[in-house]
Structure 1
Amino acid sequence: MLDHVFRPCRIGGLTVPHRIVMGAMHLNLETLDDGGAALAAFYTERVRGGAALVVTGGSAVDPAGSGGPGYGVLDDAKHRSALRTAARAVHDAGGLIALQLFHAGRYALPGAPGTDGAPPLAPSAVYSRFSRTVPQAMTEGQVTETVAAFARGAERAYELGFDAVEVMGSEGYLINQFTAPLTNRRDDAWGGDAGRRRRFPVEVLRAVRAAVGPAFPVLFRMSGADLVEDGTPWEDTAMLAVELADAGADALAVGVGWHESPVPTVQAQVPAGTWAVYAQRVKRALRAAGHGTVPVVASNRFNRLAQAEEVLAGGDVDLVAMARPFLADPAIVDKSRAGDSASVDLCIACNEACIDRSFGTERVSCLVNPRAGHEHEFPARPSPARRGSYAVIGAGLAGLEAARTLARLGHRVEVYEAADEPGGQFRLAARVPGKADFAETVRRRSRELAGLNVPVHLGHRVGAEDVPALRTLDGVVLATGVRPHRPDLPGVDLPHVLDYARAFADPGALGPRVAVIGGGGIAVDLAHLLTGDSAPAPTPEEFLASLSVTAQPPAVPGSAATAAPAVGSRRLTVMRRSGRIGAGIGPSTRWVVMAELRARGVRLLTDVTYEEITRDGVVVVAAGGERRLIAADHVVLATGQESRRETAAVLHRAGVPFETAGGAADSRSLNAVRATAQGLRAAHRIVQRAEARWARRAE
């Protein structure tokens, strides 16, 4: 039961029908030259799936505040027009929408559009590892002008038809930079002691409130914990919450962490609901000051409504913001409301198509839902002009996505998979500690196909004998995946040498000393599996304790490295000829998993040449010419993959129209994000080809 989730609440004069807020996400759709069509399609699909209050990604209040070329700036008439289109579409779909007012501060990229190449602005000239630059310390005139820019942004939100604004004062952006001693080293009216460091966020809120009047809802997103050395002390955070309530905030949304923090906050390794404790503390501080009626919004690392229900039932949080889960499944609210949470496509916190892309210019999307961000390009069409018949060969991620896309479009489709279970290589990742939700993706996709009446024939390798039946179809999506590459290396056929697939299948059979040849994402996952333990995933309390984040947050939390598991009994070496170990892993995740491997005692070698495999291990030559033996009881090959394309030749000879996806299309730089995106697009292409043939025949 989700009784607390589905209770209405009020934010100022706004009545919200349930307690789940769709949190802000920068999408790189904000500056597309399409009049706001993609942005509107993205938001309205979530509203139709049950989202009530949607918070947009940040719109910069002036050009200096832009986070990069994909950020919209409220001074730009084209961006305002796109926002107006999105707000109108959300209202037409029955939803509510708040515009997030944003200024990146020292996190702005140097030379952002409209800045004439000027460096980013910040409270003080403190180097940023995120933007890799030293910002310019703001003059007092620039500070007061920025306060006014936030007020103008709020006025524009009102004029554009938005239902509320959210002031972005968390995650290390400009307002948060003013509150932290690390980044505010001023000694004037805007810094020098705690009270003056808090002045900027309070003045911003006052200016926004004055600009829109008392009836227009204003949310303020504040940092509950910066999680950086010399960040905002907890006492200052609590006082800021009270001052913001005094200044007229209608709700306080509580975020955590900076991009420069050594503590993981949004990765799969973080237990769900970990950071709600900071929102609970903010609520208690408000109650103690007589502001207990001001709603507090918890956020970060929720991917199920049941988790939100648990936090809300505690009484110290009023709403829960979920962002990435709405990427994974736009209908997460309606499915959960209907008691069908088992069909929700879960956010697996891989970050690859969402957070990692948001730092660049590529359109934000989702591994488990590649339509995310592309709704305008791939609209749902439940009733096709003609119902076709298709086959999908291969039930890895690419094949499963192609099959559900075809079925959702209203076509008949059958799936053939040579293995005894679906999932392909994604099943391997699901075995890694902390990635249990990866297996859920395969289970839920299989369940959806069953609900769409799509037969999945397991243990069926398609061959020449299937050609007569395939010729009767309108097309085929070939998603037969990959096989491990076997390098041409002396000793590769010795009995203690095995490929990564066999190692994943039976890790317990490997000896105490293991050498892994290859250092990509598969090798890193395998290293985690081989050095992990079978203990249950930590609770939020255990995770916080491991980071030295105790009942009263210390000024300096521990780092991810100190929180990693102790060195295990297995001695593991991961080797790579060139480049960084795990170079293909997304930047928001790689640093976390690599810190864990180092803490577990995994030896990481790069710039080595493999000379031969012997019964005693692997002989390598280091960059300096030193020849050495890496002793090993077992040697695992993780040297890439090769496409399985035997079936492609069969289809080609038989004249069966087909499209390829995933590893069958190209094994180079293969990852799950690319696989699902290609599955989606291959399904649409094969239908378009069939429709073109039907049209020609009708002429």
Structure 2
Amino acid sequence: MSYLLEPLSTNNITLKNRLVMPPMATRKSKKDGRISKNILDYYDEKSRGGYISLIIIEHSFITKRGKASEGQLSVADDNLVEDLKKLSNIIHGNGSKTVMQINHAGSAASKSVTGYEPVGPSAVANPRISNVPKELTEKEIRDIIEEFKSAAHRVKEAGFDGVEIHSAHGYLLNQFFSPLTNKRTDEYGGDVLGRIKIHLEIIKAVRDAVGEDFPILLRLGASDYMKGGTTIEDSKIAAIEFEKARVDILDISGGFCGYTPPDVNKQGYFAPLTQGIKKVVSIPVILTGGITEVDSAEKLLSESKADLIGVGRAIYKDSKWAEKAIKSLK
């Protein structure tokens, strides 16, 4: 029996195999963030045949203040739900499960896009784009927690199979987690537990919004790969707390400013991160990072480097990749 073909079940979601399409920004939405025909056609093409067990929709902004770029998908208003249902229905109709990723860009946002001054955990330069944000007040933090909660509720109402909270790639929750950008001296800063306080409060708020049986995923930038940034040891501490808070799946990535590892041609180059996380949690862990060969996916699973395999660029380039991979194993 192929490792990649084995089903996996966790908290009210059963995946037919271990193949995941990770979130990848397409910038195909309408100017206001609404679903466009282009985005529906894109996900229809990627999900056709249902060979991918789980498709994670690209990061979607929870509030206009947290919009990362033009063309980004929105989940910031109740009036978007009906359009978002079209997206979940297409993917379900093709035979795949789907989760929507929700995000706030924080200091990675631009006033030219949002119309607002960027905000962050501290008024220090974001190494990703070098701008200095306004430091969030505790009230503003509470408002953002509520925005995540409302966005998650919309995701459920739109018929998705789960929701993923984005804490990677230099966006707001990664900014709180990273000592590079979190210099706070209140309860939202300091050690790892302080720096993930906002995460834990968001997870609780989201769980309250979606109920016990709706899967919650969290994408964790498990190492900043920058001097003075987060390390895998920090992320092990965080992962334990996220599991306690009832996150169902951890989706592991890395690199605060984007990351090109020395072994960029190695299949599954974030495997050292997922392997470290798997040692301290019992919930499923997703590995992405340069995986283009089905034999490599099989090997990574057989070596318990991860529970699920995310294949991004290969599927982006070739919509038949999943079909060919799955058929080759049968």
Larger Rg: 1 or 2? Answer: 1
How many Å apart are 1:110 and its aligned residue? 2.4
Q: CA deviation at 1:310?
A: 0.7
User: What amino acid is aligned across from residue 300 of structure 2 in structure 1?
Assistant: V
SS at match of 1:54: strand
Aligned to 1:330: 319
Matched, 1:131 2:129: yes
- The Cα shift of 1:269 comes to 4.2
Which aligned pairs between 1:56-205 and structure 2 lie closer than 5 A?
56-76=57-77, 79-113=80-114, 117-205=115-203
Q: How big is each residue's C-alpha offset from its partner over 1:195-237, in whole Å with a ceiling of 9 and x where there is no partner? A: 2112111111111111101100111111221111211243321
Matched, 1:264 2:263: no
Unaligned ranges ≥5, structure 1: 287-291, 342-699
Distance 2:121 2:241 in 1: 20
Structure 1 contact 124–183 (Cα < 8 Å) conserved:
yes
Contact 2:21 2:55 in 1 (8 A): yes
2:246 corresponds to 1:255:
no
What corresponds to 1:15 in structure 2? 14
Residues 1:35 and 1:189: Cα distance change in structure 2 (over 3 Å): closer
- What residue ranges of structure 2 are gaps of 5+ in the alignment? none
Mapped contact 2:60–2:102 kept (Cα < 8 A)? yes
In 2, the alpha carbon distance for the partners of 1:142 and 1:72 equals 23
Partner of 2:46: 46
- Give the equivalent residue in structure 2 for 1:361: none
1:311 matches 2:288: no
List aligned pairs for 1:453-472, cutoff 5 A.
none
Report 1:166-245 matches (<5 A).
166-245=164-243
Separation in structure 1 between the aligned mates of residue 35 and residue 180 of structure 2, nearest angstrom = 40
Q: Secondary structure at the match of 1:127?
A: coil
Q: 1:32 to 1:309 in 2, by over 3 A?
A: farther
Amino acid in the other structure paired with 2:198:
F
Task: Evaluate the alpha carbon distance shift between residue 76 and residue 29 of structure 1 in structure 2; reply closer, same or farther with a 3 A threshold.
Answer: farther
Task: Measure the CA separation in 2 of the matches of 1:328 and 1:78.
Answer: 33
Answer yes or no: is the 8 Å Cα contact 1:123–1:185 preserved in 2: yes
1:141 CA displacement: 0.6
Write the letter of the residue equivalent to 1:9: L
Q: Which residue number corresponds to residue 301 of structure 1?
A: 290
CA distance in 1, matches of 2:324, 2:180: 44
The CA deviation at 1:173 is 1.2
1:130 Cα deviation (Å)? 3.2
Between the two proteins, the alignment pairs up a number of residues equal to 328
The alignment status of 1:280 with 2:281, answered yes or no, reads no
1:316 is displaced (CA, Å) by 3.8
Instruction: Quote the offset at 1:277 in angstroms.
Output: 1.3
Measured at CA, do residues 326 and 78 of structure 1 come closer, stay the same or move farther in structure 2, by a change above 3 Å?
Answer: farther
CA displacement 1:600-646 (0-9 Å, x = unmatched):
xxxxxxxxxxxxxxxxxxxxxxxxxxxxxxxxxxxxxxxxxxxxxxx
| Cα 1:30–1:76 shift into 2, 3 Å | farther
Shift, 1:192, TM fit: 2.4
Matches of 1:48 and 1:120 in 2, distance apart?
39
Q: 1:28 — aligned with what?
A: 27
**What is the identity, as a one-letter code, of the residue corresponding to 1:95?**
S
How far, CA to CA, are the matches of 1:14 and 1:269 in structure 2? 32
Is the Cα–Cα contact under 8 Å of residues 61 and 101 in structure 1 kept in the other structure?
yes
Query: Counterpart of 1:201 in structure 2: which amino acid?
Result: H
**Counterpart residue number, 1:552:** none
8 A contact 2:61–2:72 mirrored in 1: yes
Contact 1:30–1:79, Cα closer than 8 Å, also in 2 = no
Q: Could you tell me whether the CA contact under 8 Å between 1:264 and 1:270 is conserved in 2?
A: no
TM-score if structure 2 supplies the norm length?
0.93
CA contact (8 A) 1:58 1:168 kept: yes
Label 1:7 to 1:187 Cα distance change in 2 as closer, same or farther (>3 A).
Answer: same
SS of 1:338 mapped into structure 2 = helix
In 1: Cα distance, 2:56 partner to 2:48 partner: 15
Shift of 1:67: 0.3
Distance across 2 between alignment mates of 1:79 and 1:313 = 41
Counterpart mapping for 1:489-504 below 5 A? none
Q: CA offsets per residue over residues 63-87 of structure 1, 9 Å max, x none? A: 1111012213322466544422111
Distance 1:151 1:77 in 2: 12
The residue type equivalent to 1:7 in the other structure is E
Q: Which secondary structure does the structure 1 equivalent of 2:301 belong to?
A: helix
Give the secondary-structure state (helix, strand or coil) at the position aligned to 1:285. coil
Partner of 1:478: none
- Three-state SS of the structure 2 residue aligned to 1:154 is helix
Cα shift at 1:97? 1.0
Report if the CA contact (8 A) 1:97-1:162 is conserved: yes
Q: Is the 8 A contact 1:110 1:131 kept in 2?
A: no
Change (3 A) 1:124 1:20: same
Q: Which amino acid aligns with 1:279?
A: T
Task: Give the alignment's Cα RMSD to 1 decimal.
Answer: 2.1
Output the CA distance in 2 between the equivalents of 1:270 and 1:229. 23
Q: Identity rate of aligned residues, in percent?
A: 29
Matching residue of 2:37: 37
Q: State the distance in 2 between where 1:279 and 1:150 align.
A: 26
Matched residue type, 2:44: T
Q: What SS does the corresponding residue of 1:225 show, helix, strand or coil?
A: coil
1:387-406 equivalence runs, <5 A? none
Q: Distance in 2 between matches of 1:17 and 1:334?
A: 14
Give, in whole Å, the separation in 1 of the partners of 2:269 and 2:27: 28
Structure 1, residues 226-280: CA drift from partner, whole Å, max 9, x if none? 1112112433211110000000111111101122x6x514x99442222111001
Q: CA deviation at 1:129?
A: 4.2
Mapping for residues 343-362 of structure 1, pairs under 5 Å: none
CA contact (8 A) 1:241 1:282 kept: yes
Does the 8 Å CA contact 1:40/1:90 hold for their aligned counterparts? no
